[in-house]
Homo-oligomer: A and B are copies of this chain.
Amino acid sequence: MSLIVQKFGGSSVKDAERLRHVAGIITEYYDAGNDMVVVVSAQGKTTDELIAKAKEISDRPGGREMDMLMSTGEQISASLLVMVLNAMGYSAISLTGWQAGFLTDSNHTRSRIRHINKERLENELDKKNIVVVTGFQGINRYDDITTLGRGGSDTSAVALAAALGASRCQIYTDVDGVYTADPRLVENAVKLNEITYDEMLELASLGAKVLHNRSVEMAKKYNVQLEVLSSLERKPGTIVKEVVKMEKMLIKGVAKDDNVARISLVGLPDKPGIAFKVFSLLASRKINVDIILQSVGHDGTKDILFTIAESEKEAAAEALREIAPAIGIQNVTADSGISKVSIVGAGMESNPGVAAKMFEALGEANINIHMISTSEIKISVLIDKEMGSKAVLAIHDKFAI
């Protein structure tokens, strides 16, 4: 007998019909003799509706009160799911973040889990209850409700799986696994049976919206075997783990991220410490920089180009324009209209021809590359956004993944 943690997202629990469907999945595993802990997100558009209520009142509602407000969404779906399970004759109980023992730090709206106090959870499992836990939330040391930010419910599920020593952590979504490319872009994209944590991390951060990075990082750290599968169709999904059986493909997938802006700093003095000033400023504004390219410019100056999330473009450009005169930046420009297209695969580090093959695919498709970035298991290129889908198709075809 083993313990399984399952997580169901907002669309999987959006109404009574979907809740009944989800309860069917849960009880199938419970009937097979497993202890079940289930993590749920807020129903359908609930989170958006709560945000809209807050925005009607204030442009910048405080984090503590936002967490108080937002945490109700999961509390509603958790109690409704238990009602469904009870109506089917199963013994089940819902627990809020604090009841389930989630202790976090005090960074409201984006807190981190510090510890899970397992006592209540284990008591309920001992009573053979199916335990339904509200995802995305906990409390801090002051007993204030906190939320975990984007992808929070995935993180809650992985943290529970790690704390309770679950044999599996199943993340149910509206896709049936991780694909070699977005199936809406690439008709012959293939579902992967297995993928390593590192590959999944690269794919997740590159815009394959299946799992949030934080949950994959945590799964890797605590060696939690993750499984991504569909809440709609009963078929095997993709398993994310440390070592996977070598399949013949070098490349695990092609991903596209349209949420990219490029900042160009032109004509910086070519002396030490300039880059430090730029990036420490951005760090202090909590702006996350992705790809950085530094190049020698004219007349003893240099240029720095980097990418950030589209949503932070204005804030970054404004901050940099403020300090531009003081550190001698001649010009700050911010561009949108850019896509980042990447290939990911643990096999590529021992295979030097991969980058060349990718660039060849793009060249044949007449797509211009603006910037390139590589790591052991990933190659990313920045291209014009309107070329994004064409690039994914061309690369996927070239590698015949």
- Chain A residues within CB distance 8 Å of chain B: 16, 19, 50, 53-54, 56-58, 61-62, 64-66, 68-69, 71-72, 75-76, 78-80, 82-84, 86-87, 93-94, 96, 99, 120, 143-145
Q: Are A61 and B75 in contact (CB under 8 A)?
A: no
| B residues less than 8 Å from A58 (CB atoms) | 83-84, 86-87
| Residue among A19, A68, A87 with most chain B CB within 10 A | A68
Distance A145 CA – B145 CA, assembled complex (angstroms): 15
Distance A157 CA – B84 CA, assembled complex (angstroms): 34
Q: Are A83 and B57 in contact (CB under 8 A)?
A: yes
Distance A99 CA – B66 CA, assembled complex (angstroms): 16
Contact of A68 among B69, B79, B87 (CB under 8 A): B79
> Given known contacts A16-B56, A16-B57, A87-B57, is B64 in contact with A69 (CB within 8 Å)?
no
Distance A71 CA – B93 CA, assembled complex (angstroms): 16
Contact of A94 among B68, B79, B120 (CB under 8 A): B68
CB distance from A72 to the nearest CB of B (A): 4
Q: Are B83 and A62 in contact (CB under 8 A)?
A: yes
Q: Are A62 and B75 in contact (CB under 8 A)?
A: no
Contact of A19 among B50, B57, B76 (CB under 8 A): B57
| B residues less than 8 Å from A61 (CB atoms) | 83, 86-87
| B residues less than 8 Å from A56 (CB atoms) | 16
Q: A62-B83, A68-B82, A69-B80 are in contact. List 14 more A-B contacts (CB 8 A).
A: A19-B57, A53-B76, A54-B79, A54-B80, A57-B83, A57-B87, A61-B83, A65-B80, A65-B82, A65-B94, A68-B79, A69-B76, A72-B72, A96-B145
For A68, give the chain B residue with the smallest CB separation: B79
CB distance from A286 to the nearest CB of B (A): 21
Q: Are B76 and A75 in contact (CB under 8 A)?
A: no
CB distance from A398 to the nearest CB of B (A): 50
For A61, give the chain B residue with the smallest CB separation: B83
| B residues less than 8 Å from A64 (CB atoms) | 93
Contact of A72 among B62, B76, B87, B144 (CB under 8 A): B76
For A70, give the chain B residue with the smallest CB separation: B79
Distance A197 CA – B36 CA, assembled complex (angstroms): 52
For A59, give the chain B residue with the smallest CB separation: B87
Q: Are B99 and A83 in contact (CB under 8 A)?
A: no
CB distance from A39 to the nearest CB of B (A): 15
Q: Are A76 and B50 in contact (CB under 8 A)?
A: yes
Distance A110 CA – B276 CA, assembled complex (angstroms): 62
CB distance from A371 to the nearest CB of B (A): 42
| Residue among A16, A72, A79, A84 with most chain B CB within 10 A | A79
| B residues less than 8 Å from A84 (CB atoms) | 57-58
> Given known contacts A54-B80, A72-B75, A75-B72, is B99 in contact with A143 (CB within 8 Å)?
yes
For A143, give the chain B residue with the smallest CB separation: B99
Distance A90 CA – B87 CA, assembled complex (angstroms): 46
> Given known contacts A99-B143, A143-B99, is B76 in contact with A57 (CB within 8 Å)?
no
Distance A84 CA – B62 CA, assembled complex (angstroms): 10
CB distance from A135 to the nearest CB of B (A): 15
Distance A145 CA – B64 CA, assembled complex (angstroms): 21
For A86, give the chain B residue with the smallest CB separation: B62
| B residues less than 8 Å from A79 (CB atoms) | 54, 65-66, 68-69
| B residues less than 8 Å from A69 (CB atoms) | 75-76, 79-80, 83
| B residues less than 8 Å from A68 (CB atoms) | 75, 78-79, 82, 94, 96
